[in-house]
Every structure is written in C-alpha cells, then in structure tokens.
Structure 1
Amino acid sequence: MGAQKKSASTVAARTSDDPEELARVPLQAVLLADSFTTKFRPITLERPKVLLPLANVPMIEYALSWLESVGVEEVFVFCCAHAKQVTNYLQSSPWFSQPNFSVATIESHNSVSAGDALRLIYERNVIHGDFILISGDTLSNMSLTRALQEHRERKKKDSNAVMTMVIKRSKLSPVTQQSRLGTDELFMAIDPDTKQLLFYEENTYHLKGTLSLDKTLLIDNPSITLHNDMQDCFIDICSPEVLSLFTDNFDYQHLRRHFVKGLLVDDIMGYKIYTHEIHSSYAARVDNYRSYDTISKDIIQRWTYPLVPDVLLLGSSATKLEREGIYRAYEIVQSRSAQIGPLTVIGNNTRIGNNTTIANSVIGKGCSIGSNVLIEGSYIWDNVTVEDGCQLRHSIVCDGVVMKSGSVLSPGVVLSFKVVVGQNVTVPTYSKVSLLLQPTKQDSDEELEYADNNSDVEASSIAGTHNNLNGELTSDLSEMQGSATEELGSGGVGYIWSICEGASEEEWRHSIAPVPAEKLVELSQTMDDDLDFSNQDGNAPASSGELKPGGVSDSDDEDGDANNDSAYFEKEVVFQYSIAYKDVFPIFLNNTANFSLQVEATFLRAVHENVKVDHVILEVNSLKLSYNMEFAACAGAIFYSMLKLVLGTPYNSSAELYNAVINVINTWQRLLKSYLSGKDEEIEIILKFEEMCSESAKELSPLFTKILCLLYDKDMISEDAILDWESEKKYAEESDRVFVKQAEKFLQWLREASEEED
C-alpha cells in the first residue's frame, strides 16, 4: 500500500552495535488525526479533515504512506472529531493488514487540543522510545535516516535534547511565501554550530514590523543564525520525555505556541529543541484552503514523488499520467470536443460533456460534468453534478453537490456536502455554503471541529454519498428546500455563511482564490514602510544571517548568491554591540527604539561604574546628535531607564518599591531635568510612565498616582503638563483612561488649586 517502502535496515539509528540499540523497541509514530482548528469549516463539521481528498486521495493516506516508507513500524492514530469515521475508514483499508506496519486508533471525545491528546497517549503507556510526531494533514517524502541518527546521537550526549524539529528553507520572499501557503510569517533563531533552536515566533507580520529578542539570548550564545526564510514542516522526532512534559504542564495546549516556546524560555529544566533542515525533499502541511490548493498543485507537478496520484491510486481507481501533467482514470467518458488542460486530475467513472474546458483542476470520481462548462483552478470532489453552462473558478465543491444550469461560482467559493445551487445563480466571492446553519458562536481555533454539533454521527462511506452526515441533518432535502436562502435561487438548498467580524483579511489570505493584486501591493508596501531602515554601513543582513561578536555577517545562501526576493527581511533586523556595556541590542526597526536602548546602556553603565552626571549628560548628548533625536526622546529614554533600574532592585512590598523610586529619582533628577526643557518633554514623561505601567512594568501600576505626585513635588513635571495630559485623554477609550481615573483626586486638587490661584 502506498509509496515504496525502504528496508528497516536502511535506518541508520538501527545499525548501531550498541547493546541498547540492539535491544531497541520498534520505531513508533503518533499521528494526530485532528487539526484542532476550524479553518476548514463548514466542511469539517461533516467530515474529519484527514479524510478530505487531496488530489483524489484522503490526506491521511499521504501521512501513513510516508511513515511506512521511512521504516516506522507502529502508528497510533489519535482522533477526536468524527472519530468513528476515521476508525471505520482505517479498518476497511489495507493499512490494518500491512506486514511489519501496524496501525491502531486511540479515540477521545474530551480532548480539545494537541496537548490533551499527548497527555492521553502518555496515560495509555503505548510509547516506549523515540517516536515521530506528525499531523494527519502533513505530507512529505523526506528520508528520516539522518534526522533520526542526529537525534539519537544528541540524546546520548545530552539527555535534555528531547526534540528535533524538521524545517525547510524557502527561496521565496516572505511576502511570496505567505501568499503561497496562506501562513503567517515565521521567525527563528538557530545556533549555526549545534542546530539548537533558540527562538521561535509566528505571526511577526501582525506585530507590525516589531520583533524583540531577549538580550540574554545573544549573551549566552557566541553566534546565532536568524531566519525568516524557514518553513516549519510540522514533523518532529520526539523523546518519550515530551509526553511527560505535556502531562506535567497542563497549560501546554498548542504544540508550537505553548510547548515549543515554553521550552525555549524555561531555563530551569534545561530541555532543548534542535532542528534538522531538509533541502531537496518535500514537506508541507495543509493548514488552510490556500495551502490545500498549493500542495495539491505540488502533488500534480510531482514534487512529492512517490506520493503522487498514479502511485497512490491503485485498483479500480488506477490513474495514468499523460503529457502536461494530466492524470486520467481509465474508466471515464469524455466528449471529443471537451478540452482537458494541463495539471488536471480526472477521477474514475466521471462523464464530461461537449465543449467543456477543464484546466488546473481536480475532478473526483462519479461526477457528471455537462456541456459548455468552464472549470478552472477548482476542486470537484465525488459524485458532483455540474449541469450545462456552469462556470467554476478557484472553488471547492464537496461530495454530492448539484449545480444547476448556468450557475456560477466566483473565486474562493466553498460548497459543502450536498448543497444545491439554483439555475443561473452566481455565488459571491469567498462564500461558504452548507446545509448546516452557521454556528452562532464562533469557536477559537483551538476548539474541536465538532464543537457545534450535538452528535458525532459517522458518514456512511468516505467513498460513497454520505446519506448520514450528523444529527443536524436528519431532515431530507425536500424539507430543506423550503428554507433555502434567496442567494441560492429557486430550488437551491443550503445556507450562505456570513463573513465573521474581523475575518475579512483571513478570507483572502486563506482562500484558494488568487491573492488580489492590490492586496499583494498593499502587503509589500506596508512591510517596506514599516521596515525601512538599514544599518550604519547602508547594508542589512539577508533573510538568513549569522550574528557573531564583532559585527553582522552576510548570510550563507544555499546557492551561493543572495536572493533578491529577500529584500523584505533585509530591512527587518540589525544587531550591533554596545562595547561599553558589553551587551548586544536589537534595533527595533526605527531610530527611536534603538536610541532608547543605547541610552539605557549608557545609564546602566553610569550606575555600575559611578560615572558623574555631567559625563552622562555628555554621552546622552552625543547619542542625541548621532540619532538626530529631540529632547522629548531623551527625557523619555532616561526616565524609562531609571524605572528599569528600580525594578531591578529587590523589594518585598509596595512601600519598599516606592522608596526605591524615591532613591533613584533623588540620585538622578539632575540628569532627567537636563532634558525637561518644556511642557512637551514633561508630557512625554507621563506618557512613557503610563505605557510602562500598562505593559512592561505593571508592578508600578498601583503606585502611578504617588509617583506622579513625587515628580510634581520635585518640580520635574509642572501642573500645566499634568492637566494637559488629562485633557488629551478626555475623549480616549476607557482602556486608555485607566490612570487618569486612578489619579482623579490628585487631578481634582490641581484644578482647584489652579482656580484658587487665578
């Protein structure tokens, strides 16, 4: 079954003469059949994601075929949503009778995350050694030999090396990569010598161009390589300790956002994650509709060989490969006048009418395609009826759908199971249509796909017509026609889901429709505007750059030449040393933030080395001229540094913390006053203080009013500045008026004193 299997003897980790290796346990794998997301709704309300067809083959087949080919002997398939469908599919498939390859299912109806799944697997005590952790929507043709060997050798030397993450370098620009897969940007920091993962951050674009690294990351590592050109393949080699770590930490839910990032910042236990980079092999995960489209095209173009339709589709569904990447089943009926374009798959027992054009699409089995139909860049699943004169562009059409004559699907449309589109109806762009009503409560992406269903009724057959969908579909179609929405026309059956508030961006990012040209331009311009800076030499590191003491080195490009598409990252992050303070500071994408860091370094050095205030003023003035800063920026940076010094002082109560503030202000007030030349600078101090209390120094929040009074008493902030600050906040949102309300009594006293003075 599936791809060609390699002999287990080819796995390097099993060729050792070590007695412990000779007494090895079978190589095991955990396959998560749930994605624990809602990105494939409404489809996944009726069928589990791993059983959705990818080039006419259920996704889980690709994952199991790969695991078998790399020498895995035992696979535990963990399933929650629609677990019965997954279990029945596997039991009726050849996988349950494969020699030297056992597949067992573990069902749970209470797990709502990958963390819950791994905790349950730990309780079952079925994993007895290193194992492969993979999601059922992941596809790869890589060899595991070297990665397994590296993982086990590291584990022998360091018992804390508990995980190896497979990654792949992208030669595309971050903008192109995101638009190709619909994913968020990924930023990694890796030790170039040991390949240890040091930093992992998703979604950096939505941070609006700001990314900060802990200074200790660079202090503790002599050199690191920075990447935003890496793709996480979601294939992990794990030691058994990974399961126990999930059990010991119940706040670990998401594999990346919680577990990986949790281990990277945990300096107590000392567990480590390493990376293994693949080069010529393929690995990707179907995360959303856009990546579904992209990976389908990669399969058709044979980047995933041997995981391709003519190898995986066997038996009565046998498919032959023709010129221009056309895969055609042997038993189809096609009109002579029909045109089948390149990169197209046609399933078994499908009928295609006169003058119909199909290109860059996948057609399932048992479909009836009428005459004068245009299908472009679309995915038509099984037993679909498309009547004469229909047009489908960049859409997904699930099993049993009926499109009546003249109907049109605009780009990005998803029609779930058994939907009926009325005659001459045009379904709007990005619409999602289902026989199920749209859930009134939108789940977070961590919740189960069946969260809105009251039952988990299995589909009658994955290959069949799905007579039973779930408890909400017990009425027959004749009853549903009476409640059809007007958008689907006369005889239409189904509901068009509305786009959720705040989800408009996700629609085009995750859709299989091409990214609108204006969105690509907007995305590129936004990134360029936010990240428009360079280092002091006029250059910046490429998308993969190694940082070492002494400066910034050029990236080590895989092909020997810098990739011009990496221009975005070339503006993203630059590092430099503060020689005086012997520390490394990231430039936060603009002069102001970098200036603040330099002032902080100067101030801390002055504290530790007892530098006189006059000398500190000279150094700050030098930085001010160098960065072309105003007095307000100097005052804000100095005040920030003073409070950071306070927070670094041990204290046991609010009273002790306030006393520490008094001591620091008394010691350094002359330095701060040197840059308080007017009301604007004084207001900057209040705003900086307010920002710190809200974000980085919440310990000072209860003391906001007392410290504000202290600054007033010391003649550092005037009455006019404080009242103007209050006035500026008058029409602000409630969340921005927290400290105004806290200081209300003090503000009232100032207003009354001002009136009396007048």
Structure 2
Amino acid sequence: MVAKKGNRGGVGGEDAEEELTRVPLQAILLADSFATLFRPITLERPKVLLPLVNAPMIDYTLAWLESAGVEEVFVFCCAHSKQVIDYLENSKWFGQPSFSVTTIESYNATSAGDALRLIYERHVIRGDFILVTGDTVSNMSLTQALKEHKERRRKDSNAVMTMVIKQSKPSPITHQSRLGTEELFMAIDPNTKQLLYYEDKADTLKGTVSLDKALLIDNSSISLHNDKQDCYIDICCPEVLSLFTDNFDYQHLRRHFVKGLLVDDIMGYKIFTHEIHSSYAARIDNYRSYDAVSKDIIQRWTYPLVPDVQFFGNCVTKLERQGTYRASDIGLSRSAKIGPFTVIGSGTTIGNYTEVANSVIGEGCIIGSNVSIDGCYIWDKVTIEDGCKLKHAIVCDGVVMKSGAILEAGVVLSFKVIIGQQFAVPAYSKVSLFQQPVTQDSDEELEYADNSSGNIEIASIPNTPEKLEEDLTTELSDSQIQAASEVGNGGAGFIWSVSEGGHEEGWRHSVAPIPADRLVEIIKNATDELEISNEDGNILPPSGELEPGSVNDSDEDVRDDFAHFEKEVEATFLRAVHENIKEDHVVLEVNSLRLSYNLTSSDCAGALFYAMMKLALDTPHGSPGELVKTVASVIAKWKKLLKYYLPSLDEEIEVILKFEEMCLESTKEYSSLFVQVLHLLYDKDILQEDAILNWAAEKEEADESDKLFLKQAEKFIQWLNEASEEE
C-alpha cells in the first residue's frame, strides 16, 4: 500500500518510522458539496450519488482512495445523509478487510469548516490524512506526494498541508471555460514549492493581481501562475483540524482556510504544492465540469476508472470502436445509429432510425423511434417517445418525454418530470416537480443541509422530498395543473426562472457548448490580455518567475510546452469533429492556444495535420488502401482549416517534415504510405509543387540516414520536376 511504500523512502529516527508504520493512511471524504450549482437535482438526491457515466460519483472517489493505498475513510454526510449512508451500507465498500469506510452524520453543518470541526471532536484522525470531496475523479498515485509531505514535516513542523495541483495551459477554451471554473492565480516558490499566494478571478479586478511587497521582499524567487488547476486533493497533518476548531470563521477550504493561513504571519503555518503531470485529477463543480469529466472518462484519460473496467461492480459494459460502450443486454433496432463516444446502460431499448452520439444513456431506458440524442446525459428509467429531439441536456431518473418534445441546449430535467407532446423546453431551462424556492439560502455555500423540505414545495406532494419516490398516480390537483401548463399538454413540472446571474451563468455552467458569440468574446478578451506588452515591447508570458534575470527556456521545457500544445490542439480538433463546430470557431481556439504558448503558424499547421492524420488512423480500416481513402476524406472535409495555417511555402515544408517525424515515431503505420499521402496532399492543393521540390532539395544535403522518405518519393519528385520543365 502507498503508506508503506512511502515509509521505505523516508528519513529520520526509528521512532518516526515506527509511528508511520503503525498509523494507517486515513482519508476524510466530504460527501456534501455545500453549494447550490446542481439544483434543482440536488433538492432530491445528494450530489455524490448523481450518476457519472452510469456510476455514482462517490464510487470514483472511493475506488481511487482504495487504489492509492488509503486504509480508513471517514465519509462526512449532511445533505440527504440518510440516502448516502443507505447507499454505502449496501455497497461493496462496507465490510472490506483492508479498506474501512465509516460514515459521520450531521444535520446542521453548513460548510466544510463545520464538517472538519465536527470530525475533530470525534478524535478519529490519528495522523496525516487525505482530504477530498466526494465529487473528485483521479487516478494519481499518492506515493510521491506523501513522501514529500512527510519529509517536509520532519524538517518543519509548520508544513501543515500539501495541495495537489495540475498543469493546465491558459487557453480560454480548454482550461477555465472547459470546467466552468474561475481563473486561478497562484504564487509558488519554484525551489521549495511553497504556496505563497492564492486568488481566484472572482476576487480580482479584471484579472489583475496585487502582490504584497513583503511577499516579494521575503522571497528571492516567486513563480506567478494562472496555468494551474487546483485538484482539491489535500494531504493534511492533524493540526489542520485543530486550526478549523480554533478559527470558527474558517468555512470555505480555499477562500477562508488557505487564504487565512497565507496571510497569518504570527503562527507561521505553511502550505506546499505537489504538481502532477501524466495523472488525471479533476473535481466536478458544476454542470460544465460534469460534462468535461464525463467525456474524459469515456475517452479513457481516467484509466482504470473507465466504463469497461469492473472497478466497483458496475454492469458488464463492452468497449467497441470509436469509444462506444454498450451493456450486453440492450435492445437496439437495426436501423438505429449509435455514434462515437456513447455509453448505453443495461436493459435500455432504442427504436427505429433513432440516432445517438456523444451521450451517456443509463439503465432501463425506453427510447422510441426517430429520436435524436446528441451530447446528452440520460439517467435511469427514462422514457423518450417517438420523434423527440434532445441536444446537450441532462435528463434525470424517471423522466417522461412525450412524442415530439424538444430539449434545447443546456436544459436540465429533474426527477420524474413529464414534458408534454410537441413541447419545446427553452435553452438553459431547469425543470423540476419542486417549485423554485421563494427565498434564497442565507449562506451561498449551503446546498440543502436540512433534510426537511423547508421553503421548497412540490406540486400536490406535501411533507418531505422522499415522497417523490412514490409514483405520481393520483389525480392532478390545482397546483399540478398549473405545473402541467408550464411544460405542455400532459406534462408535469415547473420551469425555474433564471437566477440572478442570468443567462451568463446559464451558459457558463451548462453542459451545452459555449455559444458562438460568447466564444468569440472570451477568446478576444484572452487574446487581448496575452498581447499586452511590457515597456520593452515583449509579450508577457502567461506564467513566469518574478526573479530578476532568471530565464526559464530550457530545451526540455520547450519540448514539454509543444507536447502540451499539440495535445490541446488535437482535443480542440476532435471536439470540432464530434460536435460539428465550425471551422471559424476552431481557428479562434487554435489562435488563442498559439498565443498562450507563444508559437508560430507553422506549429499550428503541424499540430492540426497531426490531429487529422491521427483521426484517420483511429478510424476503423482494413487495408492500407482504405486508410489512404480515410485520410483523403478527412483532409477534404477540413482542408480550409489546414490551409488557413499554410500562408507560405515555409509552412508547407514544415508539414512535410512533421509527416516524416510522425512516420518514424508516433504514427509508424504511415511509414509505408508516405508517398501516397504526399501525392494526396499535392492533389488536394494542400501542398504546392514548389514546397515538395524545395523539401527534396533540402533533403539532398542531409545525411544518408535522413533520406529514407526522400528515396521513397524519388519517382514522384522526378515526375514533378519533369512536369515543371514541360511548363
């Protein structure tokens, strides 16, 4: 287990070693988000039990903790605590010999601070512990982070916490906007990795950062970052719990506790960071990050926490081509089309000529004929009648959509809502059998701590939310008739009015892609910020050290940056393919990435070319001839996009050099097809004759070992030369 592996690498006296061996690695899992961003769904079910690619969120967190060597987990339950406790007691997590799960229940905690104070009073934590929320998905190993944390603690007892962070380049699309979170600014000592400053954009004015002069005086070197993602995975010493008990104004883990410790000069407590690179870690904060993390799971970034691996006893799901997963017992019409990156749960039936793509469908759903589902999350036992259209929506358990109903982008239908025939639910609407709360909670962090119904009413169902579990078989009352009128003929549900944040919050935290006009605005603002020059006219980097005279431009860093850039361009391109994003919008995204990484047009061309060739390679094919045909169709469809980044012969030559590199390294299957693809790019007017001839002339001067593909292309080059002479 991780705790024991860490012991071998430690230094110190025998007593310290003995203590480390004796104390099992513990974790505190907060099963309450203390937030309202998942309403109205979380009025009826706790966030940690919401399905994430057909498995409750908390299962991902527990599966990771178990795999990382944690031996004891204390699950703090507040909102809908009975549901969480019942689920865990009936799950595989209870009763395991080497992994104990204990629940701690509270009815009146309104913040993470309250939860940690209550846990402190129980005296259950006996050593360093992992602090995590039950909406966290990760596959990282804790070994190195624990080792670093323990070694720091031996040297400095004030090192009370290690925060896990992840590199995330500041593209406005693939970073903050992708997860729907605020932009985060951190100052870190590059030598010790100590956290010196922490601020999210919500608390800053137009993205500016004000650093205390004392911070600059006391620290010889500071790295200021807006390219890090907070994974909300913390390694804490037991003193952290007592600090919350000593400071009752500490409520929020970051805004109060972390920032409080950073400005406290008296006690001298320190927080350090541990950055992960190849591992995955993300927290599901809102509907947008729910969508992003779901896609990451389906695309296997979270391996082994993926649908076809039995990591918590989910039903047998088979991985098929193009990232499609199907349970073994689904009923699928022959004329139905299942598109890429789709998961279909057990017992679900899909009717004639229905099309499903980029979606997750739960268990026991009945989907009729001529239905269109794109980019949606359909939970369990949902009925969708003939002719319905759904795009980028969340549909909870037991919902019924009557024939011809339409869900516009960003819609959320809560449990057992009924949408009437032909009714179109407007974009970003939230529909629930609960009426919208009349008054807002006094504390913005409070999700729904009280397990009673409070100010919330549900049509014709008095008493508690648990009554929702009963079938709605009684006759309609006046309030239900009112609810029905809101969602069409034969429907049942209230459409909630737009929140104070308005449509701005609607699209920012939605599962729907960012609207085109907003996308242009975001990228323009980000581009303007990146192009702000200093007095010397140099573009300021998005993240860098504030140490005088320091330069951080090693070849290794440049290679790492370019590798990150290529991955982000590929992810942007694949999203454009699967979500039918227009070329103009892809250009905007790639341009913002180019500015973020301070790269050239030829770098963009090379990265896009790689993404296109990789797409063709990943598309099922038999013979080499079929692969070339697939390349031809991909290039033909995206020719305009690629040509945008080929303004001169120099960029075209760079594409040929990139293709050579691919044939030798990342996509070797193309090595025998080099000439055919080169000829294809010439025929499709991607590469001009002069670019190919200039490349050949340059290669003539190269070493023999570097002429492999030039020799393959000799006849083609000869043909081009002869054609040129004839002209």
| Alignment partner, residue 401 of structure 1 | 399
Matched with 1:513 is 512
| Inter-partner Cα distance in structure 2 for 1:513 and 1:565 | 21
Q: Could you tell me which amino acid in structure 1 is paired with residue 18 of structure 2?
A: L
Question: Which residue number corresponds to residue 686 of structure 2?
Answer: none
User: Could you report, residue by residue, the CA deviation over 1:300-325 in whole angstroms, capped at 9, with x for unpaired residues?
Assistant: 00000000111147657211111111
Instruction: Pick one of 2, 5, 11 that aligns with 1:10.
Output: 5
For residues 671-729 of structure 1, give each alpha carbon's deviation from its aligned partner in whole angstroms, at most 9, with x where no partner exists. xxxxxxxxxxxxxxxxxxxxxxxxxxxxxxxxxxxxxxxxxxxxxxxxxxxxxxxxxxx
| Aligned with residue 228 of structure 2, among 230, 234, 256 | 230
Q: Is the 8 A contact 1:81 1:109 kept in 2?
A: yes
Counterpart amino acid of residue 21 in structure 1: E
When residues 120 and 507 of structure 1 are mapped into structure 2, their CA distance, relative to the original with a 3 A threshold, is: same
- The change in CA–CA distance for 1:495 and 1:420 in structure 2 (over 3 A counts) is same
8 Å Cα contact 1:455/1:470 also seen in 2: no
- Residues 35 and 351 of structure 1: CA distance in aligned 2, closer, same or farther (over 3 Å): same
Letter in 1 for 2:559: D
Instruction: Map residues 60-99 of structure 1 onto 2, 5 A cutoff.
Output: 60-99=58-97
**Which of 306, 319, 334 is the matching residue for 2:332?**
334
**Secondary structure of 2:240's match?**
helix
Query: 1:108 maps to what in 2?
Result: 106
* More moved, 61-70 vs 313-322: 313-322
Verify the 8 A CA contact 1:164 1:274 in the aligned structure 2.
yes
Cα offset for 1:453? 6.2
In structure 2, do the counterparts of structure 1 residues 13 and 355 end up closer, same or farther at CA, with 3 Å as the change threshold? farther
What are the within-5 Å matches in structure 2 for residues 67-466 of structure 1? 67-203=65-201, 207-312=205-310, 317-443=315-441, 446-450=444-448, 454-455=452-453
1:559 and 2:556 matched? no
Shift of 1:468: 8.0
Answer yes or no: is the 8 Å Cα contact 2:408–2:427 preserved in 1: yes
Q: Which residue of 1 aligns with 2:500?
A: 501
Q: 1:568 to 1:185 in 2, by over 3 A?
A: farther
Counterpart CA distance in 1 for 2:208 and 2:542 is 16
Does residue 20 (structure 1) correspond to residue 16 (structure 2)? The answer is yes
**Shift of residue 15, structure 1, vs aligned partner:** 6.8
Change (3 A) 1:204 1:488: closer
Instruction: Summarize the Cα distance change of 1:206–1:396 in structure 2 as closer, same or farther, 3 Å threshold.
Output: farther
- In 2: Cα distance, 1:452 partner to 1:107 partner: 12
The match for 1:535 is: 534
State the shift of 1:172 in Å.
4.7
Paired position in structure 1 for 2:489: 490
d(CA) in 1 for partners of 2:17, 2:494: 58
For 1:541 and 1:333, the matched residues in 2 are separated by: 57
Conserved? CA contact 1:184–1:204, under 8 Å:
yes
Distance 1:164 1:528 in 2: 33
Does the CA-based 8 Å contact 2:92-2:312 persist in structure 1?
no
Structure 1: distance between partners of 2:551 and 2:4: 44
The higher radius of gyration belongs to 1
- Matched pairs, number: 556
Q: Give distance in 2, aligned partners of 1:29 and 1:569.
A: 37
C-alpha distance in 1, partners of 2:443/2:334?
A: 47
Q: Does 1:31 align with 2:26?
A: no
Change (3 A) 1:250 1:448: same
Deviation at 1:207, TM superposition (A): 2.1
Is 1:479–2:456 an aligned residue pair?
Answer: no
Counterpart of 2:634 in structure 1 is none
One-letter identity of the residue aligned with 1:231:
Q
**2-side partners of 1:88 and 1:30: how far apart?**
19
Matched residue type, 2:521: E
Contact in 2 for aligned 1:352/1:369 (Cα 8 Å): yes
- Partner letter of residue 10 of structure 1? K
Unpaired stretches in structure 2, ≥5 consecutive residues: 455-462, 566-590, 599-727
Offset, 1:245: 0.4
Structure 1, unmatched stretches of 5+, are 1-5, 457-466, 572-758
Give the CA deviation at 1:377: 0.3
Q: Which moved more, 1:308-317 or 1:323-332?
A: 308-317
Report 1:593-742 matches (<5 A). Answer: none
**Deviation string, structure 1 residues 514-558 (Cα, Å, up to 9, x no partner):** 101110211233345567531122114422211213477669847
Amino acid at match of 2:326: R
Question: Residues 174 and 185 of structure 1 are in contact (CA less than 8 Å); yes or no, is this contact kept in structure 2?
Answer: no
Distance 1:561-1:530 versus aligned 2 partners, 3 A rule: closer
Query: Structure 1 residues 166 and 479 mapped into 2: Cα distance closer, same or farther (>3 Å)?
Result: same
Shift of 1:171: 3.1
Quick one: which amino acid aligns to residue 438 of structure 1? Q
- Tell me the amino acid that sits aligned with residue 512 of structure 2: A
Secondary structure at the counterpart of residue 482 of structure 2: coil
Q: Deviations over 1:133-180 (max 9, x none)?
A: 000000100000000000000000000000000000013514541221
Deviations 1:434-458 (A, max 9, x none): 00000111236744322586349xx
- Residues 242-293 of structure 1: CA deviation (Å, up to 9, x unaligned): 0000000011000000000000011110000000000000000000000000
Name the structure 2 match of 1:525: 524
| 8 Å Cα contact 1:27/1:74 also seen in 2 | yes
Relative to 1, partners in 2 of residues 1:12 and 1:340: Cα closer, same or farther, differing over 3 Å?
farther
Q: CA deviation at 1:215?
A: 1.2
Aligned to 2:543: 544
Cα deviation for residue 14 of structure 1 reads 7.8
Residue 731 of structure 1: aligned partner: none
What residue identity is the alignment partner of 1:538?
G
Counterpart CA distance in 2 for 1:253 and 1:99 is 35
After the TM superposition, which of the residue ranges 257-266 and 435-444 deviates more from structure 2? 435-444
User: Residues of 1 paired with 2:443 and 2:286: CA distance?
Assistant: 12
**Distance in 1 between the 2:5 and 2:337 partners?**
46
Please say if residues 138 and 302 of structure 2, whose CA atoms lie closer than 8 Å, have aligned partners that are also in contact: yes
* 1:173-230 C-alpha deviation (Å, 9 max, x unpaired): 1454122111110010100000000010012596213221111111110011111000
The DSSP-based 3-state class of the residue aligned with 1:310 is coil
Whether contact under 8 Å (1:184, 1:205) holds in the other structure is: no
TM-score by length of 2: 0.73
Residue aligned with 1:50, SS: helix
SS of 2:17's equivalent? helix
Offset of 1:7 from its aligned partner? 6.8
Partner letter of residue 167 of structure 1?
I
Distance change in 2, residues 1:45/1:506 (3 Å): same
SS of the residue aligned with 1:327? strand
Query: Which residue identity does 1:218 align to in structure 2?
Result: L
Please give the alpha-carbon distance, in whole angstroms, between the structure 2 residues aligned to 1:162 and 1:362: 41
Q: C-alpha distance in 2, partners of 1:120/1:57?
A: 29
The separation in 2 between residues aligned to 1:367 and 1:313, in whole angstroms, is 24
1:358 partner amino acid:
V
